């Protein structure tokens, strides 16, 4: 890694970003199209004193990563559709026990085994609602190889800072895309670590000025209890309604109250656009192609609104735009999932149309331009 | 007044425990604590990982670093803890359902890796927490709420399962034979590699009642009369051993340990610098 610029696959850039962020542990199970993340982690982690382990299944992958996180290491696991389904229970465990972890889901076409090597964005809703019970969610979706690098760092920062599972929602398009990528060294990046502290029996109490409990790694002398049961500030189970209610509220609020700091999105040529296309992840590349085509001919003015944090959804920004533009088209590689979120936000401000694909092929710029001429 | 051992090794303010009168789990939990004491370990460096079920509630009572995880996954979480920090002594407390049904895959693969974990299975032959359903160790022909006409499954022999999967130390003790059980756990902790110790527990509330095993005392007496130390068994005839359960150390061998081998990879890659 002598030079800064490399030709990398999105999956490889994700691993490099993770290592720059301080990842010291990876546990996972091979699954297309995310396998290169495991492979590169296996090569790179021991070089930086970290640990890689291939576990017996997807559930064990996230479980071992959570165990390592409790022992103090920044940890990650990666998977795709079927494996993402299997990991859901322990995503909930990480939420309630407040264990930092990054879970990468390189989406492929589903349901079930589906089309293992084909692009899809079918896990958008699952990334928020996949595990049972109400829980806080941060989901980030990259559109380029460079973003696979930079945003993986951000995933770790948020996981560590907020003590939450953060989901990096990639897709086959960005995962297997090869582009130039600048490997920005850690000293030039903002790197956040978990807030460590002397918790002395009050494992889950939030001290003055903090918004999450301080963390002590197992083995450092605090000797506390971690459980997936609702628990009080000491970390021990309780059925007390008030304590349960307060814990649930605090878990949700630590993200909800800081949404404005967490949310990230891109607005491209939206100012005077007739039609704004809402898209994320790999789909944005087709949309950018469509915009380029349109600019070469006598066509409508097209803008792009691209949520980068797909959860929490950047609703205020989109609501504002929906009052200015004439039409919104949602483009996704599914049957319309973010569409529901867009409709909820836009209401009657302007008409909302949808273009999607679920046949294993990619939306082309032509598909998108044709759709615009149909609906507008 | 709690004994000195309980005072030192348990979170006394979390007691009394939730287990039913007569349950063997409290005895087995105390055995684990005594074994840790006998090994002279620094409690700050001991991690207890458990899954879900009656057995797994033990973690919350024990005054170490305790991780009460999801059903069946304790060994997978423990693998992460141990590999992340091999300086820690990692002990898994799990049950027959947790370890060999929902968590069976994690059990055999941890055995295969020979990672230095000590797994203590509190085997009460039943799913107690959910009210008495048959488990992978409910004996053939016996009853559970989900085997009302008798269990047609055959049961696992847990130490044999672990040994054949690659565990380098396996043993079986009982809740009744306390000094032996403590020694077996102690040896398991000292063994550098994957250790599995099955602790035969007693569930008078569900397993005992469903199968007319009498009172808790009757069930402990049954253990006393029917569990034979493997060393003694060698001198006994096949007839005398009919229907008996062997206890003691079942197998032991030496093999390179997983985290040691991984540290060697790190050294080769220059990651230790």
Peptide bond into B16 cis (omega under 30): yes
Of chain B, the percentage scoring pLDDT greater than 90 comes to: 99
Q: What is the residue whose two structure tokens read 């550098």?
A: B192
Dihedral of the CA atoms A236, A241, A245, A251 (nearest 10)? 10
Please enumerate in sequence order all residues whose Cβ is within 8 A of that of A320, keeping only pairs 6 or more positions apart, or say none: none
Calculate ∠ Cα A128-A133-A135, nearest 5°: 55
- Cα-based distances in Å from B247 to B15, B67, B234: 30, 29, 12
Element (H, E) at B45: none
Name the closest residue on chain A to residue B44, using Cα atoms.
Answer: A221
Residues in B closer than 8 angstroms to A224, CB to CB, are: 65-66
Element (H, E) at A350: none
Strands B89-95 and B46-50: parallel
* Residue positions counted in chain B: 273
Interface test with A, best of B76, B117, B165, B261 (most A CBs within 10 A): B76
Please enumerate in sequence order all residues whose Cβ is within 8 A of that of B218, keeping only pairs 6 or more positions apart, or say none: B208
Residues in B closer than 8 angstroms to A236, CB to CB, are: 14, 60
Q: Each residue of B226-246: pLDDT tens digit?
A: 999 999 999 999 999 999 999
Task: Select the residue of A51, A90, A222 nearest B83 (Cβ to Cβ).
Answer: A51
Residues in A closer than 8 angstroms to B8, CB to CB, are: none
Between CA A340 and CA A330 the distance in angstroms is 10
Q: What pLDDT sits at residue A77? A: 98
CATH code for the domain of B113: 3.40.50.970
Task: Select the residue of A49, A68, A228 nearest B69 (Cβ to Cβ).
Answer: A228
User: What's the gap in Å between the CA of A225 and the closest CA on chain B?
Assistant: 5
Q: What is the residue whose two structure tokens read 């609104």?
A: A305
Residue B89: other Cβ atoms inside 10 A: 23
Task: Select the residue of A49, A57, A65 nearest B80 (Cβ to Cβ).
Answer: A65
Tell if the CB–CB gap between A219 and B265 is shorter than 8 Å.
Answer: no
Q: What pLDDT sits at residue B16? A: 95
Which ranges in chain B belong to alpha helices (H)? 4-9, 25-38, 58-61, 74-84, 96-97, 104-113, 158-165, 178-190, 209-210, 216-226, 230-233, 238-241, 258-269
Please enumerate in sequence order all residues whose Cβ is within 8 A of that of B64, keeping only pairs 6 or more positions apart, or say none: A223, B9, B36, B43, B46, B47, B48
Asked if residue B163 lies in contact with residue B193, where contact means CB atoms within 8 angstroms, the answer is no
- Cα-based distances in Å from A137 to A91, A130, A166, A256: 10, 10, 7, 9
* Structural domains counted in chain B: 1
Fold designation for A267-375: Rossmann fold (3.40.50)
Tell if the CB–CB gap between A73 and B59 is shorter than 8 Å.
Answer: no
Asked if residue B167 lies in contact with residue B250, where contact means CB atoms within 8 angstroms, the answer is no
Residues in B closer than 8 angstroms to A217, CB to CB, are: 85
Interface test with A, best of B10, B64, B67, B112 (most A CBs within 10 A): B67
pLDDT along chain A (376 residues), means of 10: 89 98 98 98 98 98 98 98 98 98 97 95 98 96 98 98 98 98 98 90 90 94 95 95 96 96 97 97 98 93 98 98 97 98 98 96 97 93
ipTM of the predicted assembly exceeds 0.85: yes
Q: What is the extent of the structural domain holding B169?
A: 4-269
Q: Each residue of B45-60: pLDDT tens digit?
A: 999 999 999 999 999 9
Count CA atoms within 13 Å of residue A30 on its CB side: 4
Task: Select the residue of A60, A68, A223 nearest B84 (Cβ to Cβ).
Answer: A68
Q: Each residue of A165-219: pLDDT tens digit?
A: 999 999 999 999 999 999 999 999 999 999 988 888 899 999 888 889 999 999 9
Q: What pLDDT sits at residue A2? A: 67
Contacts A–B by Cβ distance under 8 A? 141
User: Domain A5-188: what homologous superfamily?
Assistant: Thiamin diphosphate (ThDP)-binding fold, Pyr/PP domains (3.40.50.970)
Tell if the CB–CB gap between A59 and B83 is shorter than 8 Å.
Answer: no
pLDDT along chain B (273 residues), means of 10: 94 96 98 98 98 98 98 98 98 98 98 98 98 98 98 98 98 98 98 98 97 98 97 94 96 98 98 92
Instruction: Supply the mean pLDDT for chain B.
Output: 97
Enumerate residues 5 to 64 of chain A having a beta carbon within 8 A of any beta carbon in chain B. Answer: 24-25, 27, 45-51, 53, 55-57, 59-60, 63-64
Q: Each residue of B118-133: pLDDT tens digit?
A: 999 999 999 999 999 9
Q: What pLDDT sits at residue A1? A: 53
Residues in B closer than 8 angstroms to A87, CB to CB, are: none
Q: What pLDDT sits at residue B212? A: 97
Enumerate residues 104 to 123 of chain B having a beta carbon within 8 A of any beta carbon in chain A. Answer: 105-106, 108-109
């Amino acid at each position: 890694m002598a030079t800064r610029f490399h030709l990398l696959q999105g999956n490889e850039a994700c691993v490099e970003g993770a290592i720059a962020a301080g990842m010291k542990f990876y546990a996972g199970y091979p699954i297309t199209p995310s396998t290169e993340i495991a492979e590169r982690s296996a090569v790179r982690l021991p070089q930086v004193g970290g640990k890689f382990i291939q576990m017996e299944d997807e559930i064990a992958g996230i479980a071992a990563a959570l165990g390592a996180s409790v022992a103090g290491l920044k940890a990650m696991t990666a998977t795709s559709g079927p494996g993402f389904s299997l990991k859901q229970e322990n995503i909930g465990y990480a939420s309630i026990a407040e264990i930092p972890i990054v879970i990468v889901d390189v989406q492929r076409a589903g349901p079930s085994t589906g089309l293992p090597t084909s692009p899809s964005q079918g896990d958008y809703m699952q990334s928020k609602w996949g595990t049972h019970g109400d829980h806080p969610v941060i989901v980030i979706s990259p559109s380029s190889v460079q973003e696979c690098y930079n945003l993986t760092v951000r995933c770790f920062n948020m996981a560590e800072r907020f003590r939450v599972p953060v989901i990096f929602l990639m897709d086959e398009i960005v995962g297997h895309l090869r582009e130039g990528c600048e490997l920005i060294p850690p000293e030039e990046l903002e790197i956040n670590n978990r807030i460590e502290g002397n918790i002395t029996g009050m494992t889950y109490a939030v001290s003055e000025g903090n918004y999450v409990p301080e963390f002590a790694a197992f083995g450092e002398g605090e000797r506390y209890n971690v459980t997936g049961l609702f628990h009080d500030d000491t970390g021990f189970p309780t059925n007390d309604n008030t304590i349960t209610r307060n814990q649930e509220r605090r878990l949700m609020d630590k993200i909800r109250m800081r949404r404005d700091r967490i949310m990230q999105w891109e607005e491209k040529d939206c100012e005077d656009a007739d039609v704004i296309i809402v898209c994320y992840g790999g789909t944005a590349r087709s949309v950018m192609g469509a915009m380029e085509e349109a600019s070469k001919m006598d066509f409508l003015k097209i803008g792009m609104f691209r949520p980068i944090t797909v959860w929490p959804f950047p609703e205020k920004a989109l609501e504002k735009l929906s009052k200015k533009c004439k039409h919104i088209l949602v483009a996704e590689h599914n049957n319309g999932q973010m569409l529901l979120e867009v409709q909820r936000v836009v209401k009657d401000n302007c008409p909302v149309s949808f273009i999607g694909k679920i046949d294993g092929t990619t939306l082309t710029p032509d598909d998108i331009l044709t759709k615009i001429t149909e609906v507008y | 007044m709690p004994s000195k051992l309980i005072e030192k090794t348990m979170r006394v303010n979390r007691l009394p425990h939730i287990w039913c009168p007569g349950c063997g789990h409290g005895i087995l939990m105390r055995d684990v604590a005594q074994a840790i004491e006998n090994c002279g370990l620094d409690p700050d460096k001991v991690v207890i990982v458990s899954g879900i079920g009656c057995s797994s509630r033990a973690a919350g009572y024990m005054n170490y670093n305790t991780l009460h995880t999801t059903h069946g996954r304790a060994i997978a979480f423990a693998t992460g803890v141990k590999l992340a920090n091999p300086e820690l002594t990692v002990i898994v407390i799990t049950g027959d359902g947790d370890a060999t049904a929902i968590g069976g895959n994690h059990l055999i693969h941890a055995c295969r890796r020979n990672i230095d974990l000590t797994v203590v299975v509190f085997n009460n032959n039943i799913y107690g927490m959910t009210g008495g359903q048959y488990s992978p160790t409910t004996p053939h022909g016996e009853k559970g709420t989900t085997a009302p006409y008798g269990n047609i499954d055959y049961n696992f022999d847990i130490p044999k399962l672990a040994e054949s999967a690659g565990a380098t130390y396996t043993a079986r003790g009982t809740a009744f034979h306390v000094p032996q059980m403590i020694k077996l756990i102690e040896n398991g902790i000292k063994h550098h590699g994957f250790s599995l110790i099955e602790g035969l527990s007693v569930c008078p509330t569900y397993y005992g009642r469903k199968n007319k095993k009498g009172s808790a005392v009757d069930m402990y007496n049954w253990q006393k009369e029917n569990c034979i130390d493997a060393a003694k068994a060698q001198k006994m005839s096949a007839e005398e051993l009919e229907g008996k359960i062997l206890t003691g150390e079942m197998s032991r061998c030496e093999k390179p340990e997983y985290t040691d081998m991984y540290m060697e990879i790190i050294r080769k890659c220059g990651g230790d610098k």
